[in-house]
Amino acid sequence: MNEPDLHLDTSRVDASLYNKDLAPLPHAKRNWGAFEIFNVWSNDIQSLFGYTLAASLFLTYNLSGWAVMAAIILAGVIVMFLVNLTGSPSVRYGIPFPVMVRASMGVRGSNLPALLRAIVGIFWYGVQTYFASTAVTLMITALIGTDGGEGALGLSPVAWLSFLIVWVFQLAIFWAGIERIKHFLNWAGPLVYVVMVALMAIIWWQAGDQLLPAVGSIFSGTGDDARIGGLQAFAAIVGTMVAYFAAVVINFGDFTRFVRTERQMKLGNLLGLPLNVAFFSFIALIITAGTMVLFGEALTNPTDIVERVDALPLTLLSALTFFAATVGINLVANFIPPAYDLANLFPRHISFRTGGLITACVALIVGALWVSVISHIGVSGFVNAVGAVVAPFYGIIVVDYYLIKGGKLDIQALYSAREGDAYTYTNGWNLRGLVAFAIAALFSASTVVVPAMANLSGFGWMLGAALGGVLYLLLMRGQAAKVKTA
């Protein structure tokens, strides 16, 4: 397929829809490849939050470890397929998510998904900032021998200091630009694997010949939740893991607009998702089994494990690595998207940098309340709930681009609000798309928050995405916008 002309006639763009950060990125200015995309996913699953989720899945369900592993790998394959679909348009046209969604929701209607995605991103950003700060807390405490005693809102004085250090560090990296973020990811991802393999080796050596029986007990299928089993438990694990990646799945174009070719994007997704998830889950399994032998309980938080091992060099190196991995995915998955989304709301007044600053300030409050308030929601429920709300936009975007628009966009019309242009619809809003989203979002969110629909919990994201796509296709049939041949 020939590369489209990404040149914009700036005299024809609407100032309320355009700034340089939202403009199409020419192919000549892109320098991301498969390695960068691999590291996006490496840092995602290797974060402290990701490790805790993966490890807890082996212990939560009344399902054998083999089945849990298979479900996690299947989730990686599904996510790879999903992001290949959402990433391709941005590789082709060089546009971020909030601009891409203008084609389906309208040039004004795109503000709805952008705002919702920004809220989700800011929320995750605050939570992940806290998780990254626990690694810094571990490091400082190991060096000075105390956490400072009683603090406030569930955080000790050292924990508060660590939280603020991480918050400032992340903002500084973001302020330095996308190239600095890329370099940070490129060394953080591989380093995490080195340390995690080292930690696994130490745990294995200390557990000795008792490790494999402990692994066998996990693989025997005696989880904490005996209410569900078999196929339902398998599907719940798949759904939970897909929901974990949900926010990145929807706005994957925010990253792939920097990728040189679609082939490199797909290779990065293959290496970074099913293969990466399988290997990392194996590491999590071995380490979790080892903690059962060494400490008499299954520990799913890496910082707790390192703390129990009680080796200062390992503690410092591990803490630094966990910090780097969690900060890496936080910058990419939870900082860059809201920055674009907020810029899309008011392009004349909010730049990419300003959007990032707003994100950081709001997330400061969210992260500070994680221990005392937000964490009580529960990890799996939290992941499913936030993913379900924005799920329908995935189905809408994919159906619109591939089935309604035929894989072609009018790049000029994405920045125009003139009546009669391709994506103006009704005063800038695609009312059919809005109806499809509202119905699907109500259903997908209900699978998480309504007790009567508890049996569907864990599947909310996939059901919402599928329903959103189907409803959009039915409502938009015969309503395809006139798109210029790219």
What does residue 263 show for φ and ψ, rounded to 5 degrees?
Answer: -60, -40
Write down the pLDDT at residue 482: 45
DSSP letters spanning 183-252: HHHHHHHHHHHHHHHHHHHHHHHHHGGGHHHHHHHHHT---SB-S--HHHHHHHHHHHHHHHTHHHHHTT
Better pLDDT: 458 or 133: 133
pLDDT digits (tens, 9 = 90+) for 219-230: 665 544 444 457
pLDDT for residue 237:
86
Average pLDDT score, the chain:
85
Is residue 245 very low, low, confident or very high in pLDDT (cuts 50, 70, 90)?
confident
Say if 286 falls within a structural domain.
Answer: yes
pLDDT of 123 > 90? The answer is no
3-state secondary structure (DSSP) of residue 77: helix
| SS3 label, residue 20 | coil
Question: 62 lies in a domain?
Answer: yes
Whole-angstrom CA distances from 371 to 152, 159, 437, 444 are 10, 11, 33, 27
Report the pLDDT value the prediction gives residue 64, as an integer from 0 to 100: 77
List the one residue out of 389, 325, 349 whose CA is nearest residue 121: 389
The Cα 134–Cα 129 span in angstroms is 9
C-alpha–C-alpha distance, residues 423 and 126, integer Å: 34
* Residues near 220 by beta carbon (within 8 Å), at least 6 away in sequence: 64, 65
Q: Is residue 381 part of a domain?
A: no
3-state secondary structure (DSSP) of residue 486:
coil
The predicted model gives 194-201 an average pLDDT of 83
Q: Which of 67-71, 349-353, 373-377 has the lowest mean pLDDT?
A: 373-377
Burial of 424 by CB count in 10 Å (0-12 exposed, 13-18 middle, 19+ buried)?
buried
pLDDT confidence of 95, banded at 50, 70, 90? Answer: very high
Q: What is the pLDDT of residue 226?
A: 44
Highest average pLDDT, of 3-12, 247-256, 257-266, 307-316, comes from: 257-266
pLDDT of res. 192? 80
- Residue 1: predicted pLDDT: 55
CB 224 within 8 A of CB 448: no
* pLDDT(379) > 90: no
Write the DSSP symbol of residue 414: G
Q: What percent of the chain has pLDDT over 90?
A: 39
Confidence band, pLDDT 50/70/90 cuts, at residue 378: low
- What's the whole-number mean pLDDT along residues 462-485? 78
The residue assigned the tokens 């992260």 is 367
Give pLDDT, residue 485. Answer: 38
pLDDT-based confidence at residue 172 (cuts at 50, 70, 90): very high
Is residue 416, in this structure, part of any structural domain at all? no
Query: Is residue 45 in some structural domain?
Result: yes
> CA-CA distance, 80 to 273, in Å (whole number)?
6
CA dist., res. 472 & res. 454, Å (int): 26
What is residue 457's three-state secondary structure? coil
**64 occurs within a structural domain:** yes
Q: Quick check: helix, strand or coil at residue 262? A: helix
Task: Answer yes or no: is 196 within a domain.
Answer: yes
Which residues, listed in sequence order, are joined to residue 32 by a DSSP beta bridge? 259
Per-residue pLDDT averaged across 366-371, rounded?
86
For the chain, the domain total comes to 1
Task: Tell me, yes or no, whether 467 lies in a domain.
Answer: no
Mean pLDDT to the nearest integer, 179-207: 84
Q: What's the pLDDT tens digit per position in 174-188? A: 888 888 888 888 888
Entry pTM: 0.85
User: What percentage of residues in the chain have a pLDDT greater than 70?
Assistant: 91
Q: Can you give the CATH number for the domain in which 120 is found?
A: 1.10.4160.10
271-318, pLDDT tens digit by residue? 999 999 888 888 888 888 888 888 887 777 776 777 776 677 777 777
- Domain holding 105, by residue range, is 10-219+228-370
The closest alpha carbon to 169, from 123, 124, 119, 135, belongs to 135
